[in-house]
Amino acid sequence: MKKIISNMEPFNLFFYKDCFYNSLFSVINKFSGSVWNVLAHEAVFYDYSEDKVLRGKINYYSETPLFAVLADMNISNMTSYSTDFLIDTIRKAIVNETPVIVKVDCYEEDIRKDFYHKEHLDHSLLIYGYDDIEEKFNIIEQSQKNILNYSPVVISYESLKNAADCYVRHYHSQFPEEALLTGFMSGLSDNKGTTDEFSYMNYRLYYLRSLDRMLKQADPLEVIVNELINYLSGYRELENDIDNVIEELNEIVNARTVEKYKVDYFLRNEEMTALADTILSNWLSIRLALLNYKFRGNNIRDKFEKTIRRLRENQMLEQRLNYSVFVLLANHKDLT
């Protein structure tokens, strides 16, 4: 027997938080929900983090639990904290038109050549079909970490079970509150959480409620900028930390990419969209300079000097954007 849930498409517009969300966004689109309503409920800001090499990080804050946001869009869920009877549990869910997100460790995911039997990585897979003859699941997966190329592929029952069990052994004790399997169902009634107006109201409400966090993020951003400048100026040894620096810059780039889309979608203000785009472009250039260093590119010193200027510029631009968004939202209650 085999079954595939129709109209399940990869979400490749941007990375958001972690791979669970990129899987979830495919589910939301399948059930005619609104990805924007999820984004509207969450504030993204810079925060302190002494366990990062840049001593700061991107943080996310929401007053509303994710599943409550989904419920507003008439999307319900079921969860499991066990991998016992994993294959049968997933098959039964698929038969009932319920796509499932499963926690796995890429170390045992044989289709992930970048991690298979090389390195452990906690990950999420969206499963939307199965074939008992081939003993394979239909999933949506990316080819490499930090590559936004989610696509439909297949994975064997055995590999999925091994990867899920490996996650339990290496990660579940660290995140016991996170379900190992989450299935999603859509109801039949109309829902308010899919309209532009509803999403905008939530965006405005939660941005203004998060204003204190937004205003305070200038300080941790300055810490991040100063640590980067210390690396770029030679006051800190970059060679040994370059991979961590690039990984942390990836998180910033991903967050600023989402911010650009949010500003464009919710505010519909060309000046603010251009400002958000400039901030993102600067962060992309900053990351590129570090990648050039890692791969022994040319004119590194000149590129680092330009990077320092971009870092200082972004400090001012990000404060300007936060203030501009606040002023607009404080004075405009309706989506225009």
Domain extents in the chain: 2-30+75-186, 194-331
| C-alpha distance from residue 28 to each of 33, 34, 62, 118, 267 (Å) | 5, 6, 18, 33, 22
Among residues 137, 174, 172, the alpha carbon closest in space to that of 152 is found at 137
pLDDT at 307: 98
pLDDT at 70: 97
Tell whether domain 2-30+75-186 is in CATH 3.90.70: yes
pLDDT digit string (tens) for 196-210? Answer: 888 999 999 999 998
The topology under which CATH files domain 194-331 is: Four Helix Bundle (Hemerythrin (Met), subunit A) (1.20.120)
Q: Residue 102 CB: number of other CB atoms within 10 A? A: 27
Q: Cα(206)–Cα(60) distance, rounded to whole angstroms?
A: 12
pLDDT at 193: 58
* Tens-level pLDDT at each residue, the chain (336 residues): 999 999 999 999 999 999 999 999 999 999 999 999 999 999 999 999 999 999 999 999 998 999 999 999 999 999 999 999 999 999 999 999 999 999 999 999 999 999 999 999 999 999 999 999 999 999 999 999 999 999 999 999 999 999 999 999 999 999 999 999 999 999 766 665 567 888 999 999 999 998 888 888 999 999 999 999 999 999 899 999 999 999 999 999 999 999 999 999 999 999 999 999 999 999 999 999 999 999 988 999 999 999 999 999 999 999 999 999 999 999 876 655
139: part of which helix (H) or strand (E)? strand 136-141
Q: Is the dihedral of CA 147, 148, 152, 157 positive or negative?
A: positive
pLDDT digit string (tens) for 38-92? Answer: 999 999 999 999 999 999 999 999 989 999 999 999 999 999 999 999 999 999 9
pLDDT at 335: 53
Q: What is the pTM of this model?
A: 0.94
